[in-house]
Structure 1
Amino acid sequence: MTAPLNIAKLCVGCDSPEELAQWQAGRWGDGPACHVTRMWPKRESELLPDGSIYWVFKGLMLARQRLLGFEERIGADGIRRCGLILDRQIMRTVAVPRRAFQGWRYLPGAEAPPDLPTGRGSESPLPPKLAAALADVGLI
């Protein structure tokens, strides 16, 4: 079995996975979360059913949410957008440094960081410089 294709996205407006979870709970209640983006993924069939969105917080990829589907959203300006429908469970991942980028990027499953083991999800991530240094020498 091949690893699923994923999406990497900067989390703008939230500084941590916990803050993202709180924001989504306030916005979406108990239902699935939705993140609206301008571009529709051309590789939609590779993202579903097993892909995730990997969130980057302040230069570190720290969490993921499983992608459940895509919905067309038309903005007040009449422009068609893509609503990424997300599982509400936010899984913490091993911290991986990521440079800033605009929009979202495809993230092959083989390059995606692993989930943190159960019980370690509440740990604070390493400082970005230390995480980057460890990644450079292949330790994370």
Structure 2
Amino acid sequence: MKKQKIVMFATLALGALFAGCSKSEPVIACGREWNPAVGYVADTGSVFKMADELIIQLRYGTGFDFNTLKFAFYEGTLGNKGTQLWERDFHVSNKMEAFTLEARSRRGGYATAREMTKLKAPGTVVLEISSERGLIAAKQLTIVNQ
């Protein structure tokens, strides 16, 4: 009986140790709607019209364990990345579990897919998010005409 309790306790301790080490995969959510009160972007997929508002959120799952995020947009696909459209660095802290990239349009409101990606014509772009340690996540977006 005592040996059974020791084995059970050791199993629970190992399970707790491994559960503490698990980490969810980073997710890039892209959408037209953002609720700043709860800090959540409704992921509406990867196809947007040029005139659709586009808000991007990296959900990391735990506090960021790095200091800088780099967002970079490229023409092309995940399998065939082309020229870089733009990139920008953002400072983050370990108290953050997500980072939302939302830009303002010149006409008011949030930036459109055309403005966010800096595409001149409909096409496919790749969004890469990286830290000083390397690539965190990538997502392919298709931007279509009206």
Q: Same fold (TM over 0.5)?
A: no
Q: Normalising by structure 1, report the TM-score.
A: 0.24
Q: Normalising by structure 2, report the TM-score.
A: 0.24
Higher share in strand: 2
Rg larger in structure:
2
Q: Greater relative contact order: 1 or 2 (C-alpha under 8 angstroms, separation 6 or more)? A: 1
